[in-house]
Homo-oligomer: A and B are copies of this chain.
Amino acid sequence: MPSEKKKSAVSIKDIARITGVSVATVSRVLNNKGSGYSEETREKILAVADSFGYVSNMAAKSLKESKSYTVGLILPNISNDFFSTIALYIEEYMEQHHYSVFICNTANQEQKEKEYFRTLSGRGVDGIICISGLNALSDDIITGNMPVVCIDRHPENTKNIPWVMNDDRHGSYLATEHLIKRGCQHILYIGSYTAGYKKFEREEGYIDALKAYGRRVDRNYILYENGSKPHFRESADLVREFMKEDYPVDGIFASNDAAAYGALRTVQSLGIRVPEDLKIVGFDDSVYSRLASPAISTIARHPEELSRTGCKVLLEMMEDKEPEKREWTISTELIERESSQA
C-alpha cells in the first residue's frame, strides 16, 4: 500500500475539538502553563491527549518558538573509542534536558566540518558541541549567534567560543615524571598528529618534565606518527627503526595507547623485557593499554566530565546566560600498571 498517506498524527486541534475547548487551552495545559484552565479541563484534556497518544509536532513548535530542542555534535570520527564515549555521555545528558542530538562525522575533513556548521544552523539546532579537527574555525562561526562550545580540542581562533579541554600537557608531564622517578634515563617520546589539527601539548608536557628534572631534551628521542599506517603498526615500525640506531633507551612515553602498544610489541620482539629493561607509559586509558600484556601504564582523561562540562556550558549559552568562564580544564590522571613497575 505504497500510496497510503502517512497517517497525520493527532494535533492540538483534534484534541480541542474532542474535548470541546479551544486550542489555546489545550496548549496551555499541555505545556503546563500553571494557570489559565481549571483542574477539570486539565484532566479532561490530558486524558484525551493520552488516549490518542498525542505527541506535539516539533516542527510547528520550533517554527513558532525559534527553538528546536536539538543540538549538533560535530566530531572527527564516531567510531573512535574516546569520541564515541563522549557521544554517549553527551547524548545522555542532553536527553535528560530534552534535547536530541544530531551526530555529525567530519572524518577529519575541513570541508565537511564547515558544511556541518551550515547544515546544523539550517536545521535550526539551538547549539553545537564541536570536537574540531581544524586549526581555525571560519569567521561566520565565531562571529555568528549560534551557541557553540569546543571540547577536547580547541582551534586557535575560538574568540568568544568557550572551550573545555583535557589537561593534556600536565598528563604528559605526569607520565614523563613517573618514568623519571622510576629511574629511566633515556625516555623516547612518540607523538602523533593529524592533518588539519596540530597541537603539541603532549610533547610540551614531556619536555616540561625533562626540564624540571634537569634532563637534556634530545630531539632524536622525539618521534612522530603521521597516520600513514593503521592502528599500532606505525608506532611499531617507528620504534623498530629507532632501535636500529642503538641509542640507549629505558623508557618510552607514547602520546596515545595504540602507539604505546605498538612500541611494546616491537621492544618485546627485540627481546627487551618490559618493565625490567624498559618501561612504557601510554595515553588515553583505552583498550590498547588495558589489553596489553603487560598492561600498560597510561594517562586517563575523563570523557564523562569533559562531556558534562561541555553540555552544561552549552545549555547555559542556549539560555542566553553568559558562561562563568571561557576556558575549562579537565584534569588528567596517571594510571600505573605493569609496564612501568619498579
Q: Which A residues lie at the B interface, using CB under 8 A?
A: 2-4, 6-9, 53, 55-60, 62-63, 66, 68, 70, 73, 77-81, 84-85, 87-88, 91-92, 95, 100-105, 107, 118-124, 140, 144-145, 231, 261, 265, 287-288, 290-293, 320-322
Expressed in whole angstroms, the minimum distance between the Cβ of A31 and any Cβ of chain B is 14
> Smallest distance from the beta carbon of A270 to chain B beta carbons, Å?
15
For the complex of A and B, list the 7 residue pairs with the smallest distance between their C-beta atoms, beginning with the closest: A55-B122, A59-B62, A84-B84, A59-B63, A79-B88, A7-B145, A103-B103
A-B contact pairs, 8 of them (CB 8 A): A3-B320, A53-B140, A73-B103, A79-B84, A100-B120, A100-B123, A102-B103, A231-B290
**Interface pair A121/B9, CB less than 8 Å apart:** yes
Please, which residues of chain B bring their CB within 8 A of the CB of A261? 291
Chain A contact residues: helix, strand, loop or mixed: mixed
Are A103 and B124 interface neighbours, CB within 8 A? no
A120 to B69, CA, bound (A): 12
Given contacts A58-B123, A78-B88, A95-B105, 16 further A-B contacts (CB under 8 A): A2-B320, A3-B320, A7-B144, A7-B145, A56-B122, A59-B60, A59-B124, A77-B88, A79-B84, A91-B104, A92-B105, A101-B102, A231-B290, A265-B293, A288-B291, A291-B292
